[in-house]
Amino acid sequence: MIKILLLSGPNLDELGTRNPTVYGTLTLDDHVQRVRALAGKQGWELTHLQSNFEGVLIEQVHGARGVFDAIIINAGALTHSSWSLHDALDNFAGPIVEVHLSNPAGRESFRHTSTLAPVVSGTIAGFGALSYDLAVVALVDLVGERSHTGESPNA
């Protein structure tokens, strides 16, 4: 069975009350339930972890090697600062989709750079809850592509 790790970074546990005009009113739990249901339709298992601590997220990425087939990550503001998370993700062999609810490219300049961008398969941003759905759609292709070539998705 394909196993997906969904990682949520700092302050995403505040969704629902956090800047609703930018992030909407759904809670993180709402997003997770939605993306888990969509992954479930593919027969996939989705595990979610949220942390406000960079090191915890890094250790989750380390532990994902050989266990999970793909990662979906919304690293919150660590996206714009964390070279440590970049390096951890760089050592994960499967597809990685970077997700943002908002469109960081259209916001403050400090959000215009992603340290993760060079090591992810692609980024989906600006579509609210739909960003997560689109990440699953992308993975249908990316995970499928690898199994068709005989390459294990988590090699």
Is there binding between residue 101 and ligand DQA (CB under 6 A)?
yes
Burial of 85 (0-12, 13-18, 19+ CB in 10 A): buried
Q: Is 8 helix (H, G, I), strand (E, B) or coil?
A: strand
Distance of CA 31 to the CA centre of its chain: 12
Q: Is 102 an interacting residue with respect to ligand DQA (CB under 6 A)?
A: yes
The single-letter code of the amino acid at 110 is F
Q: Active site includes 86?
A: no
- Which residue's CB is nearer to ligand DQA, number 74 or number 82? 74
Binding mask 103-132 for ligand DQA (x = CB under 6 A): -x------x---------------------
Query: What is the closest distance, in whole angstroms, from the C-beta atom of residue 46 to ligand DQA in the complex?
Result: 18
Task: Tell me whether residue 101 or residue 136 sits nearer to ligand DQA (CB atom).
Answer: 101
Contact in structure between 80 and 114 (CB atoms under 8 Å): yes
Q: Which helix (H) or strand (E) holds 45?
A: strand 45-50
For the chain, counts of helices (H) and of strands (E):
5, 5
Q: Which residues pair with 37 in a beta bridge?
A: none
Interaction between residue 82 and ligand DQA (CB under 6 A): no
Write out the binding residues for ligand DQA, residues 18-77 only, by CB under 6 A: 74, 76-77
Residues known to be catalytic:
23, 100
- Which parts of this chain interact with ligand DQA (CB under 6 A)? 11, 74, 76-77, 79, 100-102, 104, 111
